[in-house]
Amino acid sequence: MATANLTHLWQADFEDGHTINQPHDDRYSKHDDSAEWNPSAFRDVLEYDGQLKMFWVGGFGINLETGMFRPEDETDQFSLEQVPLTERKLIYYRETIRDNINGEWQVAHVSRYVIGYEGKNPDGEIEKKVLYING
């Protein structure tokens, strides 16, 4: 058995002031110890009954209201939008690698953390805007 270690934990800030921080064990609030599988804590973000405003991971945040990215320790913001997008939806995942070197399976590791969003452009097409953060 193997799991990839998480070097960057996320934080989700909602419009109503509620914040969810990813626990080190990534436990979902309704975790069932007897189950073979449980959702991760990210499921709590998806299920929270409120508007997600900011999502942070690896020193970067994305404002889903404005589409602006910004480093955690700076006030400068930047956008990846060529045209304004609407109906932004969070994208967050970890690219995970299992290498087999010379016949031996290696321990899983996260190669990149990916944050951003998808939104609708004026033509109604979906565009994705993401940042890649080294794992």
Tell me: does residue 128 bind other proteins (CB under 8 A): no
Tokens 């991971």 locate to: 57
Among 8, 9, 11, 39, binds other proteins (CB under 8 A): 39
Choice from 101, 122, 124, 125 touching other proteins (CB under 8 A): 101
Cβ atoms within 10 Å of 58's Cβ, excluding its own: 19
90 class by beta-carbon count within 10 Å (0-12 exposed, 13-18 middle, 19+ buried): middle
25 touches other proteins (CB under 8 A): yes
Q: Which is nearer to other proteins, 72 or 97 (CB)?
A: 97
Is 66 near other proteins (CB under 8 A)?
no
Annotate 3-30 with b (16+ C-beta within 10 A) or e (fewer): ebebebebebbbeeeeebebeeebeeee
Residue 42 found at the interface with other proteins (CB under 8 A): yes
> Which residue in the set 12, 55, 58, 94 belongs to the binding site for other proteins (CB under 8 A)?
94
